[in-house]
C-alpha cells in the first residue's frame, strides 16, 4: 500500500439560499470503524480508554471491559459532512448546532445521517433538523443546525485528500504475546553495560521471554542498573571485562548447554560475530549465517523481512542461497506459512551488465527445483514492483510474488542496510533483528535501539528457537498443551 493521493472524478454542487426550499432533505451513510476512533482521538486529543479499540497484545486486565463506544462528538461531526457536501453544500457555514444523544454507537454500526430544512430566515440563514439513525432507523443523535447557506452557485470537483498512513495493527505485540507462552529462553547477554542494552534485557525478562545471564564488567553493569533503578538480585552475573573475551564466554556457554541464545549488549557487532563464527568452539552450522531485519511498517498489513543488511557484505550466489533460506525459515517461524520472497535489484529484468539480476533469476529457478525450500522465490524485482501490486501490474509482471513480497533479499549489505534504516527512520517502521543460520539464535540489535526493538528481537529468538527444535511454528498455548499430552 503506497501513500499516494486518491484522485476523485466526483463533482459536488450546492443549493443557494434562494434555491433552498423548506422540506429539502439529504442523507449520507457511514459505518463506524476502528480507524474512525483512532483518528478522532488524534485530532481531538480525547484518549478515553472507553472510546479506543483494545490494544493488541496487552494483558486482559488492561483492556476495556466493554466494547469501545464511539465519541458522541464524532457522531455529531458526521452532520457537517452532509451540510457541507450535499445540502446546502459547498459554501455552507455553521452558526450553531445542538445535540441530543439517545444511544451509543459502536464499531461496525451502520449510520444514516439526515438533514432537513425546516425554516428559512433572513438571508442567508436557514434552520435544519439533523438526525443520525442506526441500521434499524432508531435515532442515536438528534439536533438543530443553524447555518448560513451559500449565496453563489458552486460546482467543483470533490477534494482529493492526502492519504493518511496509520499503524493500525501492532504485529510485534502479537509475536511478543505468543513468545511469552513458551518457556523462558536462557540467554547470555554480552556486555549489558549501558542503560539501553541492560534495559532491553531486563524488560524481556520481565515479559517472560528470556532468563538473562549477564556477562561483562560488573561495575559497569551495576552502574547501568542504578541508572535504570533496576534490581539485579537473582540474576546471574559473569565477570568478564574484555569485550571479545565476554563474547567468547557467551558462545562457550551456549556450546556447553548453559545457555540457548546470545544477545548483543554494548559492544561492537564484529567482536560478537567473531566469537559466533570462529571454526573451533563457535556456533557455525552447515551453512552461512545471515542477519534478518523484521519490520513492522505502518503502511503494511503484515511484517516485512529484509536480509542481509548486517553480516554478508558482498554475498556470492552460494551465500545468497543461505541468506534466502535463513530468511524463509525465520518468516515461517513467525507464522508465515509460505513466505513470498522478492530478490531485489535495480530492475525487474535480467541484465547481464547487472550481476544481481543474474543471481536473482538463478535463485528463483533454484527455488522452483527445490534447492531452496519453504517459500516462493521470484526475481529480479525492483523495490516498487516487489511490494506494490499496481507497480507490478503497470510493468506487466505476472508473478505470485510481485506486489505481494513479504521477504526482501537485498543484493548486498549496503543496499539492505539503507533500505531497512530508511523504512525505520523515514517510514517510522519498528525494527527488530536476529542472526539466523547458527546453532543458536543470536539477538543482534544496534546499540542505539530502544527497549521495544530488543523486546521484539527476543520474541523472534524465542519463536525461531522453537521452530528449529520442532520443525514448525508455535501457534499458541493450545498447541503447547497438546504436545505435552
In this prediction, residue 76 carries a pLDDT of: 96
In this prediction, residue 188 carries a pLDDT of: 97
Which three cell numbers mark 7?
484522485
pLDDT tens digit sequence for 29-85: 999 998 899 999 999 999 999 999 876 554 545 555 568 999 999 999 999 999 999
- 345-367 as b/e: b if 16+ CB within 10 A: beebeeeeebebbbbbbbbbebb
In this prediction, residue 478 carries a pLDDT of: 56
Give the three-class secondary structure for 478: helix
**For the chain, counts of helices (H) and of strands (E):** 14, 19
- Among the listed residues 18, 17, 55, the one whose alpha carbon sits nearest the alpha carbon of residue 34: 55
Give the list of residues 6+ apart from residue 311 with CB closer than 8 angstroms, or none. 273, 289, 290, 291, 413, 435
- Among the listed residues 161, 172, 55, 165, the one whose alpha carbon sits nearest the alpha carbon of residue 426: 165
Q: What are phi and psi of 126, to 5 degrees?
A: -145, 155
What is the rounded CA–CA span in Å between residue 168 and residue 191?
A: 36
What is the rounded CA–CA span in Å between residue 355 and residue 320?
A: 13
In this prediction, residue 446 carries a pLDDT of: 77
- CA within 13 Å, CB half, 85: 15
Q: Is the peptide bond between 81 and the residue preceding it cis, with omega within 30 degrees of 0? A: no
What is the rounded CA–CA span in Å between residue 463 and residue 289?
A: 18
Q: Pick one of 3.40.50.300, 3.30.450.20, 3.40.718.10, 2.40.430.10 as the CATH number of 171-484.
A: 3.40.718.10
Question: Which sequence spans correspond to the domains of the chain?
Answer: 15-157, 171-484
Give the list of residues 6+ apart from residue 441 with CB closer than 8 angstroms, or none. 185, 260, 261, 262, 434, 435, 460, 461, 464, 465
CATH 3.10.129.10, domain 15-157, yes or no: yes
Q: What are phi and psi of 431, to 5 degrees?
A: -120, 145
Query: How does DSSP assign 266-283, residue by residue?
Result: SS-HHHHHHHHH-TTTS-
Name residues of the chain where pLDDT drops below 70.
1-9, 55-66, 165-169, 447, 477-485
In this prediction, residue 482 carries a pLDDT of: 39
Q: C-alpha 390: how far from its chain's center?
A: 21
In what helix (H) or strand (E) does residue 212 lie, and over which residues does it extend?
Answer: strand 210-216
Query: How does DSSP assign 352-397, residue by residue?
Result: TTSHHHHHHHHHHHHHHTTSS-SSEEEEEE-HHHHH-HHHHHHTT-
Q: Would you say 267 and 197 are in contact if contact means Cβ atoms under 8 Å apart?
A: no
Give the list of residues 6+ apart from residue 145 with CB closer than 8 angstroms, or none. 79, 83, 94, 96, 97, 98, 115, 127, 128, 130
What is the rounded CA–CA span in Å between residue 485 and residue 472?
A: 18
pLDDT tens digit sequence for 377-429: 999 999 999 999 999 999 999 899 999 999 999 999 999 999 999 999 998 89
Q: Would you say 301 and 294 are in contact if contact means Cβ atoms under 8 Å apart?
A: no
Amino acid at each position: 500500500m503506497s501513500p499516494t493521493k486518491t484522485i476523485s472524478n466526483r463533482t459536488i454542487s450546492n443549493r443557494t439560499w434562494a434555491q433552498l426550499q423548506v422540506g429539502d432533505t439529504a442523507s449520507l451513510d457511514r459505518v463506524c470503524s476502528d480507524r474512525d476512533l483512532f483518528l478522532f482521538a488524534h485530532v481531538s486529543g480525547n484518549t478515553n480508554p472507553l472510546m479506543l479499540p483494545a490494544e493488541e497484545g496487552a494483558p486482559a486486565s488492561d483492556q476495556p471491559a466493554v466494547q469501545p463506544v464511539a465519541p458522541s462528538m464524532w457522531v455529531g461531526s458526521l452532520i457537517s459532512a452532509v451540510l457541507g457536501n450535499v445540502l446546502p453544500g459547498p459554501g455552507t457555514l455553521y452558526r450553531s448546532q445542538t445535540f441530543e444523544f439517545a444511544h451509543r454507537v459502536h464499531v461496525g454500526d451502520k449510520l444514516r445521517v439526515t438533514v432537513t430544512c425546516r425554516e428559512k430566515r433572513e438571508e442567508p440563514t436557514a434552520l435544519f433538523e439533523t438526525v443520525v439513525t442506526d441500521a434499524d432507523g432508531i435515532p442515536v443523535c438528534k439536533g438543530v443546525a443553524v447555518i448560513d447557506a451559500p449565496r453563489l452557485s458552486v460546482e467543483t470537483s470533490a477534494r482529493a485528500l492526502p492519504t493518511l498512513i496509520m499503524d493500525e495493527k501492532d504485529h510485534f505485540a502479537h509475536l511478543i504475546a505468543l513468545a511469552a507462552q513458551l518457556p523462558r529462553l536462557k540467554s547470555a547477554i554480552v556486555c549489558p553495560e549501558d542503560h539501553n542494552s541492560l534495559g532491553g534485557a531486563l524488560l524481556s525478562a520481565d515479559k517472560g521471554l528470556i532468563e538473562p545471564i549477564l556477562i561483562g564488567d560488573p561495575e559497569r553493569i551495576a552502574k547501568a542498573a542504578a541508572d535504570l533503578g533496576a534490581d539485579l538480585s537473582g540474576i546471574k552475573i559473569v565477570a568478564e571485562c574484555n569485550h571479545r573475551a565476554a563474547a567468547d564466554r557467551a558462545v562457550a556457554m551456549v556450546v556447553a548447554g548453559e545457555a540457548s541464545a546470545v544477545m548483543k549488549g554494548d559492544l561492537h557487532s564484529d567482536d560478537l560475530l567473531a566469537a559466533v563464527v570462529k571454526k573451533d568452539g563457535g556456533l557455525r552450522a552447515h551453512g552461512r549465517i545471515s542477519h534478518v531485519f523484521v519490520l513492522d511498517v505502518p503502511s503494511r498489513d503484515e511484517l516485512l523481512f529484509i536480509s542481509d543488511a548486517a553480516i554478508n557484505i558482498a554475498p556470492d550466489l552460494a551465500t545468497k542461497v543461505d541468506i534466502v533460506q535463513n530468511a524463509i525459515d525465520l518468516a515461517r517461524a513467525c507464522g508465515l506459512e509460505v513466505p513470498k520472497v522478492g530478490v531485489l535489484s535495480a530492475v525487474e529484468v535480467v541484465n547481464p551488465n547487472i550481476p544481481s539480476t543474474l543471481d536473482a533469476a538463478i535463485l528463483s529457478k533454484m527455488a522452483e527445483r527445490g534447492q531452496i525450500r519453504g517459500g516462493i522465490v521470484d526475481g529480479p524485482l525492483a523495490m516498487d514492483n516487489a511490494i506494490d501490486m499496481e507497480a507490478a501490474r503497470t510493468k506487466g509482471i505476472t508473478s505470485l510474488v510481485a506486489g505481494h513480497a513479504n521477504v526482501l533479499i537485498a543484493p548486498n549489505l549496503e543496499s539492505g542496510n539503507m533500505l531497512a534504516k530508511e523504512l525505520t527512520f523515514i517510514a517510522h517502521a519498528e525494527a527488530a533483528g536476529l542472526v539466523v543460520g547458527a546453532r543458536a539464535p543470536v539477538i543482534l540489535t544496534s546499540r542505539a535501539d530502544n527497549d521495544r526493538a530488543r523486546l521484539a528481537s527476543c520474541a523472534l529468538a524465542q519463536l525461531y528457537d522453537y521452530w528449529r527444535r520442532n520443525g514448525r511454528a508455535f501457534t499458541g498455548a493450545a498447541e503447547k498443551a497438546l504436545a505435552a499430552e
